[in-house]
A and B are shown apart, each in its own frame.
Chain A
Amino acid sequence: MNNLVKINSERCKSCGLCIHVCPKDVLTIGEIANSKGYYTVEMKDQTMCIACAFCALICPDLALEVYREEKGK
């Protein structure tokens, strides 16, 4: 699998709710701070992502978009 969670780092506030609800432990707080000083979320293991969009559903700050890899494309 190569699904993608696209992260808009400038909107992320490092709240950790996406990490809390991800069933596959795909996300983590990274080591790069955005312009407001928040250490923003990163995908640590993209191959595990099942594109369930739980992370995007719970993100209060619209920082996440989810894309599913299409077979044979």
Chain B
Amino acid sequence: MKPIFTKTKGLTDRPFHYCPGCTHGIIHRLIGELLEEMNLIEKTIGVAPVGCSGFCENYFACDMIGAAHGRAVAVATGAKRARPDRFVFTYQGDGDGASIGLAETISAAARGERITSIFVNNAIYGMTGGQMAPTSLIGQKTSTSPYGRDAETMGFPLDLPKILTQVEGAVYVASVSVDSPQGIKEAKKALRRAFQVQLDGLGYSFVSILSTCPTNWGVNPVEALEWLQTKMKPHFALGELKVPTIEGGDAV
């Protein structure tokens, strides 16, 4: 029989600890597949965040470093500057990258660090019990906004990839979603381009991926996909939001 789909060598054999239906696992797989397909496993340093994906260092088949909460891009900056021959990526939640680590993310983008950030936006703090995140939607019920997020007192959701398009050193910015087989294929394309931007030395590349948190959204995994499609997608800019003007070479 002809294999159509088999497990990538870019991931270890360790089963994921994520909740049933949590799409962190899909995003891990896409990264693992690209590490294998782009022949990067042996030359990659990944940086893990704090959050549900804090244990992702167990799953990627490359070298990994664990960073303090929000500091993954700062750690990745050090790794890349010390070892410019390595492919360096960060894997971060929206709490990690857009809340406690907002300054690190924007500063790394401004410096045009030759690293790639994968930003998993599930509109909530998953690991700590479903608190409101900077990305939570207006009206969204969370454990710290039990009556729904009210813009008057809790402000508005932050669309981080949209903001990063304004930063010169961020040369590739995409926003995708893993809510369907089609979406998953598009997400992989965006990740591949982001990886290539780093390999070409062009600057900072950033891929935001809309993801589910069935557990803290209080819905089943299939309902979570639907909530992502109908509630989240309309509120965030989607697609390749910024692509490099010059392909290849060192100049931005």
CB within 8 Å of B: which residues of A?
3-4, 10-11, 13-17, 20-21, 38, 51-54, 56-62, 64-70
Contact = CB atoms under 8 A, between A and B. Distances in A.
A20 B181 contact: no
The 4 closest A-B pairs by CB, nearest first: A60-B25, A15-B21, A13-B20, A67-B1
A21 B24 CA distance: 18
Contacts of A53: 4-5, 181
Interface in B1-52: 1-7, 11, 15-16, 18-26, 29
Given A57-B184, A70-B2, A62 B7 contact: yes
A3 B24 CA distance: 28
A27 to B, nearest CB: 13
Contacts of B220: 16
Contacts of A67: 1-4
Contacts of B15: 10-11, 61
A59 B142 CA distance: 26
Contacts, number: 80
B16 A60 contact: yes
Interface in B202-252: 220-222, 225
B180 interface: yes
B14 to A, nearest CB: 10
B185 interface: yes
Residues of B in contact with A, size category: 20 to 34
Interface of B: 1-7, 11, 15-16, 18-26, 29, 180-181, 184-185, 220-222, 225
A73 B29 CA distance: 31
A68 B1 contact: yes
Contact of B5 (A15, A17, A65): A65
Contacts of B25: 59-62
A70 B220 CA distance: 37
B5 A70 contact: no
Given A17-B222, A57-B26, A60-B25, 4 more contacts: A16-B221, A53-B181, A59-B25, A61-B25
11 contacts: A15-B20, A54-B181, A57-B181, A58-B180, A60-B21, A60-B23, A60-B24, A61-B16, A62-B11, A66-B4, A67-B4
Contacts of B22: 60
A3 B1 CA distance: 8
Contacts of A14: 20
Contacts of A58: 26, 180-181, 184
B159 to A, nearest CB: 25
B1 A65 contact: no
Contacts of B18: 60-61
A15 B221 contact: yes
Nearest to A62: B7
B227 to A, nearest CB: 13
A56 B184 contact: no
Contacts of B181: 21, 52-54, 57-58
A68 B4 contact: yes
